[in-house]
Structure 1
């Protein structure tokens, strides 16, 4: 008799390359599984589409506390059935590393530039935009000229980055000291599990703009208010059909199977199509918009 025990490895897709904040989020989420493998993809779209190519989970950024919602992720919710099963909040900290005390240029990923704009405005005159944070570091390490790189703080503990002798390191140059990016774990849509009464849930939906009329948004807000469903976020996204038409991505407290949530959504479904994206545990530190 064969008594061997087989461990199933969960494949988790995330935005690459290695060393990104997305990898940190994916590694954090992977702790839920006995065995997992993190797979890297070059774009958010390909990361989500990996769910059709063998990955069980996709971990992608959905919101940054400074720059707001990640539009390509929210827009994918309208185009294909997806389910949010968890969220992970990752602190965002950047440092500048230099191979010379007076660098002539600085390598920085385009999103990182936006999150460290104040420091860059006062210290860097020649900024070279890179596709990723790890590319910025690689260009610095390969440079024979005085240069610097804007990199995530956690890369300083990376085997390749941390072992380098830098002429100067400037820690925590992020514009907002408490900068955080929220990531969500996605899977292909499937029947929703029953709520655990010991868990505080948040849920997400997309209200599809296929019946536009005056007072549409007000009707939606009133439906949530009447049934005492507390909103956590509301973001409009253009439908791409014509000016003035928008879908609404909404997160709120409660489970999709809670009676007051079902009542509010039933009222909205009388006029618009609603895509239910799932219910998942959330941190009480999330701010309310009600």
Structure 2
């Protein structure tokens, strides 16, 4: 199986892709420089893409959800990766700090203690590379797991603002015509889109009442602008259960009377 994910090597995306790959018989990993390119790799260049969809601190990854509206793919799995960063330096008093912009936001408390410029990079790997090339006193924010491959003169471990920071990833593929029958011993989650093609007052409340009436537990609800005009939104929803469960089928049947529904997939619920 060919797995595409966000590169370069050394990222949390690589960890997630490898973790998912270990569930397969064999796999090869390929890196792409942007999320849009990762998703476009399916199906010509890759069979599966592993992409981040939500972080505990930063919230949802909007480009991924927006891409599902334009081109629905089938979500076949999810997993969470702990996000731990360290501050590494070549001198006890660095004059600059290299940090990927998302990493900077997740380590703001530690970085705020340094009255030096923060040099934003495109990736955590680039931050590490620039530090290694620097001849001046410098530091970098790097993933904790990268310390296994490198040694540094000065290290401050676990500098994330939130002790239990995690990023949730999903594995997606080209939508299959045949739906796998649910395993009665497996806890499932279902992801779907409600497309706002017939906007009217109370649209969201109506849909929430339908889910509540059938006792379908929603675990995520995200509104995304349609891009046409203010006040119009598509809704990305995750709920407990499989799309073939009677309660979910009944709820979606009613919702489809008013709006277009795209089921992105039912998959084993991650830990």
The normalised TM-score by structure 1 is 0.92
Are the counterparts in 2 of residues 103 and 148 from structure 1 also a CA contact under 8 Å? yes
Note the 1:52-201 alignment, pairs <5 A. 52-158=43-149, 162=150, 164=151, 166-190=152-176, 191-201=178-188
The normalised TM-score by structure 2 is 0.98
SS at match of 1:52: coil
Q: Which runs of 5+ in 2 are unaligned?
A: none
Are the counterparts in 1 of residues 188 and 266 from structure 2 also a CA contact under 8 Å? yes
Rounded to whole Å, the distance in 1 between the matches of 2:138 and 2:44 is 40
Aligned match of 2:226 in 220, 230, 239? 239
Q: Give 1:189 deviation, angstroms.
A: 0.6
Runs (4+) of structure 1 exceeding 2 A deviation are none
Partner residue, 2:249: 262
SS at match of 1:276: strand
Q: Which runs of 5+ in 1 are unaligned?
A: 1-9, 285-290
Rounded to whole Å, the distance in 2 between the matches of 1:109 and 1:93 is 14
Residue correspondences, number? 270
Are the counterparts in 2 of residues 13 and 55 from structure 1 also a CA contact under 8 Å? yes
Partner residue, 1:202: 189
Are the counterparts in 1 of residues 90 and 153 from structure 2 also a CA contact under 8 Å? yes
Rounded to whole Å, the distance in 2 between the matches of 1:272 and 1:219 is 11
Distance 1:227 1:25, change over 3 A: same
Aligned match of 2:17 in 19, 26, 46? 26
Rounded to whole Å, the distance in 1 between the matches of 2:168 and 2:207 is 25
Q: Give 1:55 deviation, angstroms.
A: 0.5
Rounded to whole Å, the distance in 2 between the matches of 1:222 and 1:60 is 31
Rounded to whole Å, the distance in 2 between the matches of 1:171 and 1:124 is 20
Rounded to whole Å, the distance in 2 between the matches of 1:104 and 1:242 is 46
Are the counterparts in 2 of residues 106 and 124 from structure 1 also a CA contact under 8 Å? no
Rounded to whole Å, the distance in 2 between the matches of 1:115 and 1:267 is 41
Q: Give 1:124 deviation, angstroms.
A: 4.7
Distance 1:217 1:129, change over 3 A: same
CA RMSD of aligned residues (A): 0.9
